[in-house]
Amino acid sequence: MSVAVTPRHVRHTAGLMRSIYLPRTADALAFAMSTYGIPLLVLATTRSAALTGAAFTLEWIPRLAAFGWAGSIVDRRGAAVVFHLASLGRALALAAGAVLLHLHPSGSVASATVMVLAATTGVLTEFSYIAAETAGAAAGRRAGARAHRVQAVLLGIDQTSTLAGPALAGVLLLAGPPPMLAVITVLSLLAALLALRTPPSPVAPARAPKGQSGAGLLTGWRTIRSLPALGWLVTGLTLSNLATGLLQAAGPVIVVTHFGQSTTAVGLVWSAAAAATLLAVTICRFALDRLGLWPVGAACAALASLACLAAAQAPDYLSYLVLVAVLMAADGGMTVVLRTLRSRLIPLEKFGSTLSATILILLLPFPVAGVLTALTPPDALGHVITACAALQALGLFCAFARLRTDPALRT
């Protein structure tokens, strides 16, 4: 009599599904819904373009301020603990916000509630994101030769959540702010509970030197400066992110106020962009094998610049949706180039600090985009987007012109 034995790789995949993939899915969906849904919520509650831009800024400034600390705390306490506590904290904050908006659907209390939610969810989401990334990296190391498969699944989870999250937030907002916040609360609570099954990650010594977070970011900055190819690419993408961040921050105002569409239509723009990005990332993987880094990156840079310039002058909602999707797809292709380049160039012993510094630099334009949206009258947003698109085109042209002869991008 024979006994069926489950193959080892099947057991390993099932274990990853329970301990890594499921909590990452719940957290990524809550991440996408809160990132795109909170500005929509602010616009629906306050009817103010200035406050919508301010809320976008409040989402991102605390994230940037907490970025180095999040990595340091994850290193000290472990990814599973921080993942659980951050997701639980976000669930409690959103639940409190849902109750307050149910009791006070408009007025000063509602305005204050949504602005505080923007800042609070921004910080807690950053902690859960860094913890989830760390847990995923640890799972990849444990997978050994299958590490690339783990990362491919995690990337797919992120992109799929970005595809579904904005549209779901927009649809739920039609039923009112409390239902939308309640769903994000449930997802955050689910992520917190599932995080309890996440394997513990290695932690740093209890008596690590004070200021380690700042020292790590300084080390990362010095490493970027010592690698010209990485530095030029990060510079170009940072300028590009100012244009894409402005489109994201001003999206609710443009779609609802300028084009006269619903909040659901705003979510559809970013869902279409996520779908296009997912397709572009898949295509770029094959294109990189045949053409190399520079041709693919330069083509994506040109496409992103043209799409952003055209989006600033889009005559109607449909053309705006298509152009934003093309822009984000091209941006996704450049992100693949960046991830490939930094994996080749950054020394292993400095990879973590350099990765943190790189992400921090790339995120800096987003709060700036929120400030620009808050300070710009709705009728003038098109002109500001055009100026940022021109700066994006100039930055990407200079970056890839400089990188044309760099040996790091020849293969």
Mean pLDDT of 14-35: 80
Using the predicted structure, report yes or no on whether residue 157 has a pLDDT greater than 60: yes
- Minimal CA–CA distance to 351: which of 241, 211, 230, 193? 230
Cα separation, 104 vs 100, whole angstroms: 6
Which of the two residues, 287 and 3, has the higher pLDDT score?
287
Residue 8, phi-psi category: left (phi > 0), alpha (psi -120 to 50), beta (remainder)? alpha
Q: What CA–CA distance (Å, rounded) separates 238 from 224?
A: 14
Written as six digits, the tokens of 109 are 């209390």
How far apart CA 128 and CA 158 sit, in angstroms, is: 13
The string of pLDDT tens digits covering residues 375-403 is 888 888 889 999 999 999 999 999 999 88
Phi, psi of 262 (to 5 degrees): -90, 175
Give pLDDT tens digits for 112-146.
888 888 888 888 888 888 788 777 767 766 766 55
Question: pLDDT tens digits, residue range 348-368?
Answer: 556 666 777 788 898 889 888
Structure tokens at 321: 């949706």
CB 87 within 8 A of CB 128: yes
Tell me, rounded to whole angstroms, the distance of Cα 174 from its chain centroid. 24
- Helix boundaries (H) for 47-146: 49-77, 79-103, 108-143
Give the residue from 148, 127, 169, 214 showing the smallest Cα distance to 29.
169
What confidence tens digit (pLDDT) does each residue in 186-223 have? 999 999 999 887 766 555 554 444 445 555 577 778 88
Whether the per-residue pLDDT at 300 is higher than 90: the answer is yes
More confident: 208 or 20: 20
Q: For the CA atoms of 93, 163, 277, 287, what is the dihedral angle to 10 degrees?
A: 120
DSSP tag of 250: H
Residue 222 burial by Cβ neighbours in a 10 Å radius (0-12, 13-18, 19+): middle
